[in-house]
Amino acid sequence: NDAKDDTHALSDFLKDRLPQVGLDYDTYGPYVLPLLTEEEVDADEWESVLELLQASSESHSDDEACWMQLRADIQAAWASHLQTQQQHEQEQHEQRAQELSAALAEERRLAEVAAQEAQQKEQQSTSVVDDAAKRALMDRFGYEDDAAEGGDDDNNGGGALTNQQVASQAAQERTNEMRSNKGQTKKDEQAKTNKAKMEKARVKEERRKRSAKGERRRG
């Protein structure tokens, strides 16, 4: 109990105040401390403790006013302690709320930064794919405008072919290729037909010669 009493918020106050009315703290402090709670204490309890303290005092037992003042001082000191404690708890609560708010704000900021970086990477990736596709078309069908080098004037002397021009040229190239393939196929078929006709004429001629030779032998 002594150790607990020494750690009470008003133990130092009572160690200084009780001897002023002729009382020892170690002996009479434990009677006062139970009255100091956050709950309201019945007035009769205070009266009982004060009567005990007054009767035990060798120097102030006849001084009624000093005991009323002792009670007022103790209660005022305890109320001040409770107010300070409440203020400290409120400050701690506000500090925790601020820290939580700051942490949430930082999480939102980091999430926004990550989203922006992901969007930038996606845009860069799309740009790279588009550039690669355009370069592939340029390598196959396109070229830098020859008009700048005194060449073709069809591009009105502009710079490199646009995407639309490259796509149009690619389509034209495919059309020409299909036409060329179709013409070549027709030529091949004609050649095959002529070859077959020549072969048929050759066979017919050989038969005619063999028939004429047989007629001579019989004559």
Spell 150-184 as b/e; 16+ CB within 10 A means b: eeeeebeeeeebeeebbeebeeeeeeeeeeeeeee
Tens of pLDDT, residues 158-187: 556 676 776 777 778 777 777 777 667 777
Place of tokens 């009493």: 5
Share above pLDDT 90 across residues of the chain, in percent, rounded to a whole number: 29
The highest-confidence range among 34-38, 98-102, 159-163, 204-208, by mean pLDDT, is 98-102
Tens of pLDDT, residues 59-102: 898 888 999 999 999 999 999 999 998 888 888 889 899 898 99
Where does the pLDDT of residue 217 fall: very low under 50, low under 70, confident under 90, or very high at 90 and above?
A: low
Tens of pLDDT, residues 116-149: 989 888 888 887 767 777 777 777 765 545 444 4
User: Which is more confident, 51 or 140?
Assistant: 51
The reported pLDDT for the residue numbered 218 is 64
The reported pLDDT for the residue numbered 143 is 52
pTM reported for the whole predicted model: 0.44
The reported pLDDT for the residue numbered 147 is 46
User: Which is more confident, 198 or 2?
Assistant: 198
Q: What is the DSSP string of 28-70?
A: HHHHHGGG-SSSPPPHHHHHHHHHHHHHH-SSSTT-HHHHHHH
